[in-house]
Structure 1
Amino acid sequence: MGDLVIGARSGAGEPEGSGRRAARSAESAAPAASVEEAAAQTADEQGDEAEGSSEPPQDKAESTDESGAEAPGKQRKPRSFWKELPILIGIALVLALVIKTFFVQAFSIPSESMQNTLQVGDRVLVDKLTPWFGAEPERGEVVVFHDPGGWLNDEPVKQSDNSFLRGVQDVLSFVGLMPSANEKDLIKRVIAVGGDTVECEGDGPVKVNGIALNEPYVYPGNTPCGLHPFAPVKVPKGRLWVMGDHRADSLDSRFHMDQPGGGTVPVDDVIGRAFVVAWPIDHWSTLPVPATFDQKGLAAAGALTPPVGGAAGAVALLPLVRRVRNRTDRRKES
């Protein structure tokens, strides 16, 4: 009988136990191989992603968003001062024009008619905002107003002989940075307003509604009436009686009583109230209303008009009120 064969070996001549050692070395090498394969697979995937991307990498500092705006990392180059200068000048001129039109305007004093309150060459600032709200000039205020007609017909217009300087003056006058040489404006003190009665006889004093004015602002050596006293004048509503502080050298309301309005100035012609002397610096001062215009009774005639008118109206309506009341009582009884 032959021998029973249970298994066969792969190779002839191998010593006993060599198969077991080979199996063990294969098992120990397997984990290392799997780690290398995983690393290789990861590298292959990253390479595929890089190859699939068609856009080259960009520097973050130079990238822009979809709207075209620069990324925060990029610094903007500052604009040149010479490029910004015309813009700043334009803004300044627009602001000056707005201020001149609605708020404040500068005027130059061309004559001696307001000495010693104002000197020749002084620059005053005039409030143009208050009249926009319906306020009217009051007694004692120094106001600038347009020529009512015929007051400055003989006054020459003073302009430079240099055409360039005239152009500069016109531009600065337009925006309110310089007084205009073409405008015929005057500056005087308001002595009486609409409804007042003003007079100055002999050597004075000036009286408003019968109240004598103590005028410390009158030029030294002048009399309150100057060389032209006048009889009582009733100032029409909506008009002003004005006089210069230099009474001997001011062609004011006293000298135009033969013209329409009897020498008075329409309130609508008033540009505004001069409230401060701004230039030169050593002449700087405010222009308040003198205390003499705060006297009791100065505005008595005008102040009593509303109460008296109201009382007269109440008396006139009294019979009508009684009739209405009687009719109401009869209806209730019926």
Structure 2
Amino acid sequence: MTSEDRDTVSAAEQDGTGSRSSHVPGKPRKKHLPIWQETILLLGIALVLAIVIKALFIQAFYIPSESMEPGLVNNDRILVEKVSYWFGGTPERGDVVVFKDPGDWLSAEEKAGPQSGIAELMAQIGLYPTGGHLVKRVIGVAGDVIHCCDKKGRISVNGHPLDEASYVKEKGIACNGPMVTDCKADWTAGPVPPGHIFVMGDNRGHSADSSYHMCKPHLETDCVPGDEYVATDLVVGKVFVLLWPSDHFRWFHRPATFAGVPDDPSS
């Protein structure tokens, strides 16, 4: 028997058929799942990943009104990241945040989420916007005092006037905080309570924000002070990108004017 014949016999003996095989005798071969079962398995994995991503990292929302114009307009799609507020992190001045309704800021219609079954399912896994949320800009954090307005119509935080020209919508209003006194008198909010923030829409004349929910000093009312503040545990996350429509696409950054705000209101 030649060496070539021995090699042929040895190869045949490996699987008993005359062809090489890695199969170990006595060990059952692994069976592939049918295509339909593999599809269901992959969809299940994708669903779990989507739920985890929504719960921990990123969630989609849409802009439901004109309150954040000009930067965000009605029906814009945004993505919110949650990582910035992990491990004790809290919203910072200038952040654009999405938060749950504090209780009486939205009407029943505005709180309603998706109505169709498919949209509702997609909302649950973070692939479609949910109802009952608001989008505003953080103006003050715990301990801050917000004042409106100086001779130029600017809002001040802890005595520092904010240059908001880059994001506040010009709409024929005399100041950047008209919702309290129609710019006819000054107003002050704060100190902001611990664990809360003071928020405002960029479209200052058309935003039901913290200034809108303040008690109006020139009106006789049974308003209870404090409704203007939003608890930080209601904050879902920070807007970091305007995703859709594509011609509106842009990244969000904290405006530079907030860097000059001192932490001490008395400074």
Q: TM-score range by the shorter chain?
A: 0.7 to 0.9
Q: Kindly tell me: are residues 302 and 84 of structure 1, through their superposed partners in 2, closer, same or farther at Cα, counting changes over 3 Å?
A: farther
CA contact (8 A) 2:80 2:237 kept: yes
Structure with greater contact order relative to length (CA < 8 Å, sep ≥ 6): 2
Gaps of 5+ in 1: 1-56, 71-75, 305-334
CA RMSD of aligned residues (A): 2.7
Confirm whether residue 66 of structure 1 aligns to residue 14 of structure 2.
no
Q: Which residue does the alignment assign to 1:233?
A: 189
- Tell me by how many angstroms 1:231 deviates: 1.5
Q: Which residue does the alignment assign to 1:286?
A: 251
In 2, the alpha carbon distance for the partners of 1:89 and 1:191 equals 42
Match for residue 273 of structure 1 among 226, 238, 249: 238
Gaps of 5+ in 2: 1-14, 215-222
In 2, the alpha carbon distance for the partners of 1:127 and 1:136 equals 13
Q: Indicate the larger mover: 141-150 or 81-90.
A: 81-90
Q: Which residue does the alignment assign to 2:262?
A: 299
Confirm whether residue 249 of structure 1 aligns to residue 249 of structure 2.
no
Aligned partner of 1:286: which letter?
Answer: W
Q: Which has the larger radius of gyration?
A: 1
Q: Kindly tell me: are residues 215 and 286 of structure 1, through their superposed partners in 2, closer, same or farther at Cα, counting changes over 3 Å?
A: same
In 1, the alpha carbon distance for the partners of 2:84 and 2:25 equals 53
In 1, the alpha carbon distance for the partners of 2:255 and 2:140 equals 14
Q: Which residue does the alignment assign to 1:185?
A: 133
Q: Which residue does the alignment assign to 2:12?
A: none
Q: Which residue does the alignment assign to 2:124?
A: 174
Aligned partner of 2:251: which letter?
Answer: T
- Tell me by how many angstroms 1:210 deviates: 1.1
- Count of aligned positions: 234
SS, match of residue 130 in structure 1? helix
SS, match of residue 264 in structure 2? helix
Confirm whether residue 131 of structure 1 aligns to residue 85 of structure 2.
yes
Q: Which residue does the alignment assign to 1:151?
A: 105
In 2, the alpha carbon distance for the partners of 1:264 and 1:159 equals 24
SS, match of residue 257 in structure 2? helix
Q: Which residue does the alignment assign to 1:205?
A: 154
- Tell me by how many angstroms 1:132 deviates: 2.4
In 1, the alpha carbon distance for the partners of 2:139 and 2:176 equals 12
SS, match of residue 85 in structure 1? helix
- Tell me by how many angstroms 1:113 deviates: 0.4
Q: Kindly tell me: are residues 125 and 81 of structure 1, through their superposed partners in 2, closer, same or farther at Cα, counting changes over 3 Å?
A: same
Match for residue 142 of structure 1 among 78, 96, 99: 96
**Alignment of structure 1 residues 9-20 onto 2, 5 Å:** none
TM normalised by structure 2 equals: 0.78
Tell me which protein shows more helix as a share of its residues. Answer: 1
Q: Which residue does the alignment assign to 1:317?
A: none
